[in-house]
Structure 1
Amino acid sequence: MSQLLLKGGRVIDPASSFDAVSDVLVDGATITAIGPDLAHIAPHAEIIDCGGRLVLPGLIDTHGHVYQYVTGRFGLNADQCGVQSGVTTLVDQGGPSCITLPGFRHFVAEPAATRVLAFMSAYLVGGLEGHYYPDLYRPDCLDAAATVKAALANPDLVKGIKAHAEIGGFARWGLDVMKIASTIGRDANLPLYIHFGQLWPKPESGGLPVNPDSIFNQVVSTLKAGDILAHPFSRHPGGFVEENGKLHPLVQEAIARGLKVDVGHGSHFSFKMARIVLDSGVIPDTLGADMHGYNTHVPAPAGTPDSHPDEEHSFLGRTQFSLVSAMTTMLTLGLPLNHVVAMATHHAAKMIGMAHEIGFLKAGGIADISVLEDRRGRWVLEDNEGTQVVTDRMLTPLFCLRDGVRHDAMSPMLPLARAA
Structure 2
Amino acid sequence: MSRIVIEGAHVATLDPARREFVGHVVVEGNRLASVGPGSAPSYDDARVVDGRGCLVTPGFVNTHQHLYQWVTRGLAVDATLFEWLTTLYPVWARITEETVYVAARAALAQLARTGCTTVADHHYVFPRDGGDVLAAEITAAADVGVRFHPARGSMDLGQKDGGLPPDSVVEDRDEILTATEAAIDRWHDAAPDSMLQLVVAPCSPFSVSGELMRESAELARRRGVRLHTHLAETADETDYCREHFGSRPLEYVAGLGWTGPDVWFAHGIHFSDVEITRLGTAGTGVAHCPSSNARLGAGIARVADLRAAGSPVGLGVDGAASNEAGSLVEELRHALLFARGRGGPQALTVRDTLEMATLDGARILGRSDDLGSLESGKLADLAVWNLTTPPHAGIADPVAALVLGTPPPLELLLINGRPVVEHDTVLTVDERALAAETRRVAAHFLS
Normalising by structure 1, we get a TM-score of 0.69
Q: Is the 8 A contact 2:66 2:122 kept in 1?
A: yes
- Residue 182 (structure 1) aligned to one of 217, 235, 249: 217
> Partners in 2 of 1:3 and 1:100 — Cα distance?
38
Q: Is the 8 A contact 2:31 2:380 kept in 1?
A: yes
Q: Does residue 1:89 correspond to 2:89, yes or no?
A: no
**Aligned partner of residue 120 in structure 1, secondary structure:** strand
Number of the residue aligned with 1:162: 201
Q: Is the 8 A contact 1:11 1:20 kept in 2?
A: yes
**Aligned partner of residue 315 in structure 2, secondary structure:** coil
More helix by share: 2
Q: Is the 8 A contact 1:373 1:395 kept in 2?
A: no
Structure 1 consecutive aligned stretches of length 4 or more whose deviation exceeds 6 Å: none
Map Cα deviations across residues 161-193 of structure 1 (whole Å, 9 max, x no partner).
112127x437xx6x3443343333333332211
> Partners in 2 of 1:283 and 1:410 — Cα distance?
38
Q: Does residue 1:114 correspond to 2:141, yes or no?
A: no
Number of the residue aligned with 2:5: 5
Matches within 5 A, 1:6-405: 6-21=6-21, 22-38=23-39, 41-42=42-43, 45-66=46-67, 70=97, 72=99, 75-77=103-105, 78-94=107-123, 100=132, 103-104=135-136, 107-123=139-155, 133=166, 136-137=169-170, 140=173, 143-156=176-189, 157-165=196-204, 168-169=206-207, 175-197=210-232, 201=236, 209-210=243-244, 214-222=248-256, 223-226=258-261, 227-233=263-269, 239-240=270-271, 247=272, 249-265=274-290, 267-269=292-294, 273-274=299-300, 276=302, 278=304, 281=308, 285-297=312-324, 320-332=325-337, 333=339, 334-373=347-386, 375=392, 393-396=405-408, 398=410, 399-405=412-418
> Partners in 1 of 2:247 and 2:414 — Cα distance?
44
**Aligned partner of residue 169 in structure 1, secondary structure:** coil
**Aligned partner of residue 274 in structure 2, secondary structure:** coil
Change (3 A) 1:120 1:322: same
Change (3 A) 1:42 1:328: farther
Range that drifts further, 54-63 or 27-36: 27-36
**Aligned partner of residue 183 in structure 1, secondary structure:** helix
> Partners in 1 of 2:328 and 2:317 — Cα distance?
8
Q: Which runs of 5+ in 2 are unaligned?
A: 71-95, 158-163, 190-195, 340-346, 396-402, 433-447
Range that drifts further, 87-96 or 273-282: 273-282
Range that drifts further, 391-400 or 334-343: 391-400
Root-mean-square deviation over aligned CA pairs: 4.2
Map Cα deviations across residues 40-66 of structure 1 (whole Å, 9 max, x no partner).
624775543434543122222122233
Q: Is the 8 A contact 1:165 1:200 kept in 2?
A: no
Paired residues, what number?
Answer: 356
> Partners in 2 of 1:362 and 1:252 — Cα distance?
32
Query: Aligned-pair distance for 1:84?
Result: 2.5
Q: Which runs of 5+ in 1 are unaligned?
A: 126-130, 234-238, 241-246, 298-319, 379-390, 414-420
Q: Is the 8 A contact 2:8 2:50 kept in 1?
A: yes
> Partners in 2 of 1:362 and 1:208 — Cα distance?
47
Return the letter of the residue paired with 1:288: L
